[in-house]
Amino acid sequence: MTKTKIFCDIADSKTIKEFNKKSIVDGFTTNPSLMRKAGAKSYEKYSKLLLKICRNKPISLEVFADNFKEMEKQALKINSWGKNIYVKIPVINSKGKFTGQLIKKLNKKKIKLNITAVYTVTQVKKINSCLDNRTKSIISIFSGRMGDVGKDPVPIIKKAIQITKSKNKVEILWASTREPYNYTQAKQLGCQIITMPPNIISKVSNFGKSFNQLTKDTVRTFLVDSKKSRYKI
């Protein structure tokens, strides 16, 4: 059975420092929104700070340009910062144009890529056709955001794994994780990677409690809260 690696989806340097020490965490993913949330003023300086902390685990750093020439320049520069980097490229730009030619070009240069913001089987097929089997690549499927609009991501993840099966250098990543059970789903599907925010990783670390223990814990919580509130009837 395929081991489902756990990546931590965060750009905060203190949190990365903490979670980099955890054996349960196999790597990290970031994006421009997370970088902004972490307070990064200079993208390059902040990225290099994260790379000093995370030296031996893979970390994804994303381009933020919208035109393909600038995307390529950024991708080459980001890639030069460290051997453990996966350069994140969105599947399309903001105008809806597929980044396929850029993916092919960077893949041929043996740059490890993480193709992100993927939602459909068609997108997976198009990406897969742009990738060879010589360089490691990740296809990030935004499962949680599918769930947010009432769609089931499981059939799409399952198809994506089948489509990329012949290329052992291509991995499918379950992204935008919403709850700990998503890890169980990813494992059952044979999804190679799941990326999760730190609070969900902490909950996954507690997997294995029996229902009896959960019942006791729940009732004890009610008891403690009612005593603290000094309720009387």
Q: What is the pLDDT of residues 116-153, one digit of tens each?
A: 999 999 999 999 999 999 999 999 999 999 999 999 99
Q: Is residue 186 included in any domain, yes or no? A: yes
For residues 96 and 123, is the Cβ–Cβ distance under 8 A? no
Q: Is residue 161 included in any domain, yes or no? A: yes
Q: Is residue 56 included in any domain, yes or no? A: yes
Which positions ≥6 away from 117 have C-beta within 8 Å? Answer: 90, 91, 92, 140, 142
Is residue 160 predicted with pLDDT exceeding 70? yes
Which positions ≥6 away from 166 have C-beta within 8 Å? Answer: 133
- The CATH number that applies at residue 94 is 3.20.20.70
Is residue 2 predicted with pLDDT exceeding 90? no
Q: pLDDT digits over 162-195, tens only?
A: 999 999 999 999 999 999 999 999 999 999 999 9
Is residue 1 predicted with pLDDT exceeding 80? no
Q: Is residue 225 included in any domain, yes or no? A: no
Q: Is residue 215 included in any domain, yes or no? A: no
Q: Is residue 23 included in any domain, yes or no? A: yes
Q: Mean per-residue pLDDT for 45-63?
A: 98
Q: Is residue 214 included in any domain, yes or no? A: no
Domain count, the chain: 1
Is residue 29 predicted with pLDDT exceeding 90? yes
Containing domain of residue 83, as a range?
A: 5-208
Q: What is the mean pLDDT of the chain?
A: 96
pLDDT of residue 13: 98
- Confidence bin at 101 (pLDDT 50/70/90): very high
Q: pTM for this one?
A: 0.93
Determine what percent of the chain falls in helix, strand and coil, rounding each to the nearest 5. 45, 20, 35
Q: Mean per-residue pLDDT for 29-51?
A: 98
CA proximity to 127, closest of 108, 109, 146, 114: 114
Strand partners, 28: 8, 59
Q: pLDDT digits over 181-232, tens only?
A: 999 999 999 999 999 999 999 999 888 888 999 899 999 999 999 999 999 9
Q: Is residue 125 included in any domain, yes or no? A: yes
Is residue 108 predicted with pLDDT exceeding 80? yes
